[in-house]
A = this chain, B = another copy of it.
Amino acid sequence: MTDNAILVLTTGGTIDKNYFDALSEYQIADSGIPALLEEGRVALPFRVVELMRKDSLELTDADRAAIAAAAAVAPETRIVVTHGTDTMAQTARVLAASVPGKTIVLTGALTPARFAETDARFNLGMAFAAAQTAAPGAWIAMSGEIFDGCNVRKDRDAGRFVAA
């Protein structure tokens, strides 16, 4: 569609959780997003920047401001943000309010990308495409749907995203 690169900002979340035997627990690891894009045979130029490694329940206002700042200052106008699902809608609203003129698509996964069965690849593909075709604004790509970032919430019981 255009020849701009796509910027991918990673912030952590379930999509990047790994299991550490020595600790007997899961922790967010170095991002697996670059490997997923390679597996997806992505030839369109892109840049991956790891901003933080946080479960989204632990994100603070300062964290969201940092994500918005990174999106605003970048030369790219098409941005994908990988993020934990629990507070993704909140970050989407912050981005919609503070980063005009760019198409920003947030996504993540309900199951870590390192699992054999995971929604991670499908979701990342959705976000990468929506970043190229959706109008400027903040969007969420989850549960097979592209949502208006200001009109969506996570229904935890149902394990899916729905219009707010």
Contact = CB atoms under 8 A, between A and B. Distances in A.
Nearest to A119: B41
A127 interface: yes
Interface in A116-157: 116-119, 121-130, 132-134, 141-148, 156-157
A41 B160 contact: yes
A44 interface: yes
B126 A159 contact: no
A145 B26 contact: no
Interface string A45-64: 01000000001010000000
Interface in A10-27: 14, 17, 19, 21-22, 24-26
Contact of A44 (B1, B24, B57, B145): B145
A25 B22 contact: no
A126 B129 contact: yes
13 contacts: A1-B146, A1-B148, A19-B111, A21-B110, A22-B156, A42-B145, A43-B158, A43-B162, A44-B145, A121-B122, A125-B128, A129-B130, A129-B133
Interface of A: 1, 14, 17, 19, 21-22, 24-26, 36-37, 39-44, 46, 55, 57, 85-86, 110-112, 114-119, 121-130, 132-134, 141-148, 156-162
